[in-house]
Amino acid sequence: MSTARLSVSILDDEPIALLQLQTLLGLEPGIKILSASTTGSDFLNSLKIHTPDAVFLDIQMPETTGFEIASQIPASIPIIFVTASETHAIRAFEVNALDYLVKPVTSLRLKKSLARLLNKPPGNEPTLAASNDLLYLPLQQGRVFIQAKELVSIESKGNYSQLHLQDGRSFLVKRSLRIWSRHLDPLAFIRIHRGCILHLCHIDRVEIHGPHCTIHVRNQQTTHQTSRRQGRVLKSLLKASDKTP
């Protein structure tokens, strides 16, 4: 019977970086390396043979990116991203409270990541997401990274939420509107009422009539209703962002 407490698979297109991470993991008691790959296709094929407890995923690769590979990994498998200190990638991890390692990986930082995997403590509070950030969506069938600027609206579905994107895609995510409100920049993503958040940059115009307000979204037939007071707030925010309501 194996004494391994944690089995892992690794993807890194740089053979030296891959070897360094394998060496550091090999020094940790109870860690079993199931596979070490230099291409995305080899890595995904290895997942068909072995199911690791966690994966280490390089971000920048010639044929693909770690974000694209992540969308094909079962949502039940935790990911530790490995990056060569790209500001944009690190910002994405901090916005989504995801674990990551910066190359060259150190033994101390690796130990902290492994400890989090083994202990499974509550996740860190994410940084507020702005329109130009990447958003991580954990889905039942996997996971997806989207550009926040693609997000048009979020509708409450109890403890879930329905996300509607600019290109017509829609995702059901196990995350309440209350959590989204804490996660998104409140000057870009406006909670128009208890059941809906709208992305300001996709609002075409705001019409106030009596005690109510109708919000028109660009390239969509559906309108949204809110209060007169909230409508005035939206008009002010649109003007402040150089948009014409």
Write down which residue in 119, 153, 186 finishes a domain.
119
Same domain, 149 and 93: no
Same domain, 73 and 174: no
| pLDDT greater than 50 at residue 79 | yes
87, containing H or E segment = helix 87-95
Mean pLDDT across the stretch 79-106? Answer: 83
Longest dimension (CA), the chain: 72
| Number of Cβ atoms within 10 Å of the Cβ of 156 | 18
Same domain, 113 and 186: no
In-domain check, residue 245: no
pLDDT at 131: 84
| pLDDT greater than 90 at residue 13 | yes
In-domain check, residue 126: no
Q: How far apart are CA 134 and CA 161, in angstroms?
A: 18
Mean pLDDT across the stretch 156-177? Answer: 94
Lowest-confidence region among 26-30, 141-145, 174-178: 141-145
Residue whose C-alpha is closest to residue 77's, from 55, 49, 92: 55
pLDDT at 245: 39
pTM, entire model: 0.70
Same domain, 179 and 103: no
pLDDT at 4: 61
| DSSP strand pairing (6-11 vs 31-37) | parallel
DSSP structure class, residue 1: -
Tell me the three state secondary structure of residue 105: coil
Mean pLDDT taken over the chain: 88
In-domain check, residue 128: no
Same domain, 57 and 152: no
β partners of residue 198:
153, 190
pLDDT at 244: 42
pLDDT at 242: 63
Domain that holds residue 172: 134-240
In-domain check, residue 124: no
In-domain check, residue 111: yes
| pLDDT greater than 90 at residue 10 | yes
